[in-house]
Structure 1
Amino acid sequence: MTPSTALHAPPAAPEILDRCRELVAPALAEAIGGLHPWVGEMAGYALGRCEVGGAPVAHRQGKGVRQALAVLGAEAVRGSAEEGVPGAVAVELVHTFSLLHDDIMDGDALRRGRPAVWKAYGTGPAVLAGDALFALAVDTLTAAPSTPRSGAAVRQLTTALRDLVRGQADDLLFARRSWTGPDAVGVREYEVMAEHKTGALLGCALAVGARLAGARGETAAALDRAGRHLGVAFQIADDLLGIWGDPVVTGKPVHGDLRQGKKTLPVLAALAAPGHRALAELLASPGVLDDTAVRRAAALVEQAGGRSAALREARRHLAAADTLLAGASLAPRPAGDLRTVLSSLAHRTI
């Protein structure tokens, strides 16, 4: 690479995410600062901004993918990055509230390598903090001057919230269903759930930023669909990490999803393949699987093709997202940034 080429090289995904996160950080801090001090501390802890007790902490925040998508969504339709900031704050708050409540519902004691909010503060306070973040997210958009743009953004967010709840409800109900037989969860059912639970907010992030920047309805709809495809791929990647991920990277125990009996795509795909009987019998055994059993289950899932099938599905959804972005007549540089972020997510996890 020549010095001239290096000087004009496009930014890498971490640089893009850092730029967007730094732009959004003051508005996010201001929003959290308006909460009850104790609730605000829990919100700050959930966001990785502080420890229990409120002491500031560095390097514990998430990557900020959703807030970055809102900023890039505004830029992609030839608006300013600043126009996307209220949407970025709103989707980051919704994402954080959903993780907070998710951990309670799933009984997950760890989040990003430290105690989840409900373990650190108690279940009741954690529910309260999640409720506060939910309300604050909606308030962030409704507090904007009343214009057709802000009205469309609010509707985009409320649609995503409805779908998110629908997806979480399906995910919880899946836990009550059998691994095999007529009541078994199918791969297609799972992907619909994943679109609602994970994809709705990613699609909303892109679309709400675009709407705040004045995008036409069809452009915002294409961005929403692209984000939903990305969300399914993202959820599948989480499933893969939940079985085979490094605990140092994920912050959660290895084989954690198998131990908890979660119906994830690699497992469902394996159960739909020929020769799945040994896996089905193991999963249906009473009690919680011990270390030996979960290692065997992970091996059986891979042997039945569950891991490779999940990878194929994730890549198919990523390709669909890329096709939608290509057809949306976006500004070249932010569209390139979007693809860089999308590609980095794909190569990091799948």
Structure 2
Amino acid sequence: MFGHMSIPSPRGEREKLITALTPQLRRHLKIRAFEHGMDIQDATEHAIKAWYEADGLPEVKTDGAKTWGTFLPAGEPDNFKAVCAERGVTYVQGLAQALSLWLDNHPSPTAPLVSQPVVRVIVANQKGGVGKTFISSGIAQALAEAGHRVLIVDYDPQGHLTAELGFEDLMYEDDVETLLMHMEGSAKGDIHDLLVALDQDRFGERLHLLPASDDAFLRDVSLSKVSFSEAALERALEPLEADYDVIIIDGPPSLGLNMDTALYYVRRREGELADRSGVITPVWANKASHRAFRLLRKQMDDLCSKGRIQVDYLGLVINAYDSRRGKLVKENKDQWEKSSSPGVLAVIGDLKEGREASDGEIPLLEYAPESEHAQAMRDLAKELAV
């Protein structure tokens, strides 16, 4: 697959190259570019230029490649296409060779070259029931299991995450300050006092939860009275950021001010690399998910335009997929997988372990650590450049 479109850019006129890339190669590129203080777009441009000068390169495995796009200087997509034709390779193979060569020539530095803010991710979709809590909790568990310090924030007023991790009682405590109070500026205490730790050995005391509270349903109304309300979540969580490598927000099933504050929180900060913090959207292989995604995308675009900010889309996760549900389900899945911006990070089957862990109020990786569901979460966690 190959195509391109022109856009104006601070780097000059650029055209989009649409081809395909294996998840493994994409993940290695993302991490290595981060380690060298580059964004993925610049790394890819340098990789293709070096590939033009190289010859006799070995074939790279491209099984499982998924649609992927990047912007190159005007004319470069056509130039790349012509060189691929001369060498008798597909565009997918040509890009794989170029990126593999770049990775070989740019090994991991012994120390990070740039200091970056804490990684901030919201798992968001205004449609309920698509697996936001399952995905956000699973990624957080996998990151903590791998040695990262992780905070997961239950930002959904329904509090499913808090309940499913066994802390439902905390939602209804009296005379306790809440996240909303810290967002409003009315809290007197330290926000650290709201946190609870998951005590399973596999998480090594690295996984903490900021529980939901029963005043969260009032958040939209309350925030409308707060000055510069979009930054309210950031102001509340800022004292926690130095303690964590990753902060994951389990987003609300709505598109109001509540969502705006969360999207603003995961925006690309000054000096932060692209595609590091941002949005992951769980979807189902049905028409309703396509409609819901368009609404979320519109809200993101409006916020970015009005606030003059950039919010990166980290990708989609097709959840609860079962090919036995018929032709329309497969067609909807195929439609999602044709998306390159954002691309599909994973397809997760409709398996029982996630439901059983939720019903038993046990973290998935503790309940079924060897399951396909658990491994899918570990693979997703590797997508984040932490």
TM range (shorter): under 0.3
Higher Rg: 2
Is the helix fraction higher in 1 or 2? 1
TM-score for the superposition, normalised by structure 1: 0.25
TM-score for the superposition, normalised by structure 2: 0.23
